[in-house]
Structure 1
Amino acid sequence: MVIDWSQAGTGRPKAGERERTRAAAYVRMSTEHQKYSTDNQMAVIRRYADSRQYEVVRTYTDSGKSGLRLVGRDALQALLQDVESGLADYTAILVYDVSRWGRFQDPDEAAAIELRCKHAGIVVHYCAEQFENDGSIGSSIVKTVKRAMAGEYSRELSVKVFAGQANLIRLGYRQGGTPGFGLRRVLVDQTGNHKSELARGEHKSIATDRVILVPGPADEVALVQQIYRSFVEDGLGERQIADMLNDQGVMTDLGRAWTRGAVHQVLINEKYVGNNVWGRTSFKLKQVHKRNPPEAWIRFDGAFEPLVPIEAFTAARAIIEARALRMSDETMLAKLEQVLRQKGMLTGLIIDEIDDLPSSSSYACRFGSLLRAYALVGFVPDRDYRYLEINRRLRHLHPEIINDVIRGIAMAGGQAIQDASTDLLYINNEFSTSIVIVRCLETEAGALRWKVRLDAALNPDLTIAVRMRRGNDAPLDYYLLPRLDMHEAVLRLCEFNGLSLDCYRFDSLSHLYEMSERKQMLKVA
């Protein structure tokens, strides 16, 4: 019997046919571009591979991943790691088109990805483009234009999406977020007929459906009205109201004990008088979280049925604004100097106990620190209180950061529940998170050091280490430390720690918010 090796399927190339070159394929599908499915991309890539004598030996797939940033795209990061570490068993990468690397607002980011592959000796081919990626002037110009067009497409899409969301707000529909204590989300069809109430974590599934807010159970509505009466008529503060609600055994809408901040939010949120306000913060093109000025907010007054009369809400706001009226620097220092003459010394506790004196935190905020305020009135403490003052400032900062994380996760479509006894956050009922603020220490030589103590008792799945900058007045960066990778209870960080630790470092918490983002998945029969 004679074997004809030229026949297909024998595993050998035909006579005159060269050996196939080993290649990898990278495909990405983002939620904005469902028509470019990964299957469709692979079909084009396979046809290209067959016509150019490539053999696809590995495929990297990012499904449902936005191309606006590199963060969160595990397949692309794995590809780059294989390429740069020498583990790649291929010499070419096949990509559907230029935009699959990403629709970055800076086109140089996409160019950098291709350059990293090129430096490792691996060429990149764009299978659906009308040009050869051969390094010629023509191909370089076309690639640059295509990268800029990809970023511009995302920018234009962002503008259109924002305009559509703003229009829905002006029509009285709710755009994301928890309803709040005393309120419920109700699904309505395109004609405005009520369909059903949405439970926590549920979302609409039909594109033409909309969500509105309605009053919740009668007992919750009564408690909201009681909060306003206690604050406006009885003169109780937020802390006193929170203690009263906790004594009654009432939990917040998130199933937690009441805090001063939770009561404050009820008193300042316009949804309790039926106003639909949106756009207080923004995260356009997944670049930077920022707070928008009130004139940039999108609003529709009277969109929902109010829980409290507008008069009560206006009175509560007037009390809060009056309480926040700023004294002049001279008046604040004159009052502080008077207390110094009476007491003979100054401490934060003494300041906070004087009824007609601004709080110690107000002095620290106005003058930069309590020690500076002391110096301005001629008081020099017997000992160095800076360490205690920094600790106090960090303790005050901790709940603010926790609340910011909870809000950021909610904006991303996730849910974070805080354990009142441990301050652990349970994100999407999937993993526990601890937030640790790490003070900055300066050595005699001027170098900066940080000591991170991981909570071995609570043993959270993820620790967020908030590294403070020099002076300990604001966060410098963030380390997301998974329990599985941490083998020591104490980490000692310097300004640069090498890849083994700095791979967990991020300039913001946007990566955490992206981790908590919920994605809709097609139901499989």
Structure 2
Amino acid sequence: MEWLCVSRAEGSSRIARIGPERSRRAAAYVRMSTDHQRYSTENQLDSIKRFAEARDFEIVRIYEDAGKSGLNLEGRDAFQRLLADVERGTADFGAILVYDVSRWGRFQNADHGAHLEFLCSRADIVVHYCAEQFENDGSIGSNLLKTVKRVMAGEYSRELSVKVFAGQCRLVEKGYRQGGMAGYGLRRLLIDENGEPKSELSIGERKSLQTDRVILIPGPAEEVEVVRRIYRLFVDFGVQEAQIAARLNLEGIVTDLGRPWTRGTVHQVLTNPKYIGDNVFNRVSFKLKMRRVVNTQEHWVRARGVFTAIVDVVTFERAARIVEDRSRRMNDAELIDLLRSLLEAQGSLSSLVIDEREDMPSSSVYRSRFGSLLRAYHLVGYSPRRDYRYIEINRRLRAMHPDVVTMVIDGLRVAGGEVLVDPETGLIDVNGEFTASVVVARCGETQAGSPRWRIRLDAGLASDITIAVRMERGNVSPLDYYLLPRLDMTEPKLRLAENNGLSLDGYRFETLDFLFSLAARAQFEEAA
């Protein structure tokens, strides 16, 4: 709300100086956040009008900020317009009437409010605090009281922030959601004080009753499946966030805000504990609107398992470990010291022993840094008698195989192919034109530590194409893919090194996009 009274002289775009009359003309500034009813803009304006009548001021403009915090200038559009009018010299008033010092602002630095008042004074405009018990006349007493009031206004915000934060923490621990959108695959459910569901909140909607609470529930089934698929691609197949985003965008899937996926939005899904049912608060703090701080986990407020999970804890922790290992930077000496301390504690070493240790990088970090685990073992003086890792690895790869097949089928169908799967053999028929089978090749090591892969081509299936998924060192995620046509494969078994020459590496691909393109159907226009 803004009242204007502008006089112009000889076509000038600036406000004309009107001598003594200007000092009797005043602008009113009112602001309300959510503090108290007595600070409503109507109540403030009533007090300001009584003050103006008693001192013979004519209110020619009203600047109003409703629902705006006084901690800084951000979002206070009317106050910024007021300051702009003052600094440009276009103000047609000689006084600014404010309810009290706190309405001018609750700045955490008292000098900030004083500086803004000084800008007005420099333009021959006096600020009056209508509800205060002192006249703002520049006397020592008024200056002292103003300083105290400014400090008190800032301290009030600090005390309120502490109380509000403590209350929010208690509600979080009880399993109630505090602010923020639900996120992709989740929805916010409004419940009453007895825990009975009321309605689902849409984006931008808020609760209207103080006794109501908000919890998170799983969203539509198709969104939940996309979230689980993101985790499978990242954890089981080693697909990076940017590649996952590109794949989702290619399929026409958008985020909860209706926007394309990015590396950042995929990363948020992979790292937010709400997907395993945890209620987490204070991951990022912006107290008193001073500085945004990304807090470490020890400062999080976390209630575990209070919401319905859509991702299992084991998968989430594996994703977190991948992210942590990727971002962690240690020098070789630090890695060796950790490995040596683990050997002293366990008496033996293996990739499983290393991966199960939470305060250590994963075994893949040691392979990457030192070329192989055997070389890392040698550096700490350990010689394994026998390595039983292959038993656990094979068990893991067998469990992974159905997910790989599902990924292949989904990719073929998204590309437009018609896919049929033989329920007995698992043979994949694409468009009735060719068949495919999937094998997952474990990465082994020679005595020298060089990687090797053995691929068995199932002659019984006689598939046209064998999709060989070559696992990276550690056998956690795929390294690359070989599309092996039956017509060119004369041996039932293949033994692959890192580099195999054009006769084999000519069939190697970083992704399965080429395979999916084979399933796409071209549209031809009918000739005239």
**Normalised by the shorter chain, which TM-score bucket?**
0.5 to 0.7
- Cα gap change, 1:127 to 1:273, in 2 (>3 Å): same
The alignment status of 1:273 with 2:276, answered yes or no, reads yes
Deviates more, 1:102-111 or 1:127-136: 127-136
Contact 1:184–1:215 under 8 Å retained in 2: yes
The alignment status of 1:290 with 2:297, answered yes or no, reads no
Measured after TM superposition, the shift of residue 267 of structure 1 is 2.4
Measured after TM superposition, the shift of residue 274 of structure 1 is 0.7
Contact 2:101–2:149 under 8 Å retained in 1: yes
The alignment status of 1:180 with 2:183, answered yes or no, reads yes
Q: 1:100 aligns with which of 96, 99, 103?
A: 103
Residue aligning to 1:27? 30
What letter corresponds to residue 189 of structure 1 in structure 2? Answer: D
Distance 1:80 1:247 in 2: 49
Measured after TM superposition, the shift of residue 38 of structure 1 is 1.9
Distance 1:82 1:264 in 2: 45
Backbone CA RMSD of aligned residues: 2.9
Distance 2:240 2:257 in 1: 22
Measured after TM superposition, the shift of residue 19 of structure 1 is 12
- Cα gap change, 1:23 to 1:313, in 2 (>3 Å): closer
- Cα gap change, 1:182 to 1:86, in 2 (>3 Å): closer
Residue aligning to 2:215? 212
Contact 1:277–1:298 under 8 Å retained in 2: yes
| DSSP 3-state at the match of 2:144 | helix
- Cα gap change, 1:231 to 1:23, in 2 (>3 Å): closer
Measured after TM superposition, the shift of residue 72 of structure 1 is 3.0
- Cα gap change, 1:117 to 1:191, in 2 (>3 Å): same
- Cα gap change, 1:137 to 1:212, in 2 (>3 Å): same
Q: 1:138 aligns with which of 138, 141, 145?
A: 141
| DSSP 3-state at the match of 2:194 | coil
Residue aligning to 1:313? 316
Larger Rg: 2
- Cα gap change, 1:258 to 1:128, in 2 (>3 Å): closer
| DSSP 3-state at the match of 1:110 | helix
**Where in structure 1 are there 5+ consecutive unaligned residues?**
1-17, 333-355, 359-525
Distance 2:87 2:240 in 1: 59
What letter corresponds to residue 36 of structure 1 in structure 2? Answer: Y
The alignment status of 1:152 with 2:158, answered yes or no, reads no
- 1:302-381 mapped onto 2 (5 Å cutoff): 302-328=305-331
Distance 1:251 1:290 in 2: 29
Distance 1:316 1:78 in 2: 49
Residue aligning to 2:128? 125
Distance 1:205 1:232 in 2: 41
Measured after TM superposition, the shift of residue 105 of structure 1 is 0.7
Measured after TM superposition, the shift of residue 240 of structure 1 is 4.8
- Cα gap change, 1:56 to 1:191, in 2 (>3 Å): same
Residue aligning to 1:194? 197
What letter corresponds to residue 53 of structure 1 in structure 2? Answer: D
Q: 2:47 aligns with which of 22, 44, 48?
A: 44
Contact 2:185–2:223 under 8 Å retained in 1: yes
Contact 1:277–1:299 under 8 Å retained in 2: yes
Measured after TM superposition, the shift of residue 170 of structure 1 is 0.9
Contact 2:22–2:93 under 8 Å retained in 1: no
What letter corresponds to residue 155 of structure 1 in structure 2? Answer: R
Measured after TM superposition, the shift of residue 144 of structure 1 is 1.0
Q: 1:224 aligns with which of 224, 227, 232?
A: 227
- Cα gap change, 1:241 to 1:91, in 2 (>3 Å): closer
**Where in structure 2 are there 5+ consecutive unaligned residues?**
1-20, 336-366, 370-528
| DSSP 3-state at the match of 1:35 | helix
Contact 2:22–2:94 under 8 Å retained in 1: no
The alignment status of 1:90 with 2:93, answered yes or no, reads yes
Contact 1:274–1:304 under 8 Å retained in 2: yes
Distance 1:44 1:219 in 2: 57
The alignment status of 1:72 with 2:42, answered yes or no, reads no
Distance 1:92 1:299 in 2: 51
Distance 2:88 2:243 in 1: 60
Measured after TM superposition, the shift of residue 101 of structure 1 is 1.2
Residue aligning to 1:505? none
Contact 2:28–2:97 under 8 Å retained in 1: yes
Measured after TM superposition, the shift of residue 194 of structure 1 is 1.0
- Cα gap change, 1:71 to 1:243, in 2 (>3 Å): closer
Percent identity between matched residues is: 61
Residue aligning to 1:165? 168
Contact 1:19–1:53 under 8 Å retained in 2: no
Distance 1:49 1:160 in 2: 37
- Cα gap change, 1:93 to 1:265, in 2 (>3 Å): closer
Distance 1:263 1:79 in 2: 43
Which runs of at least 4 in structure 1 moved beyond 6 Å after TM superposition?
Answer: 329-332
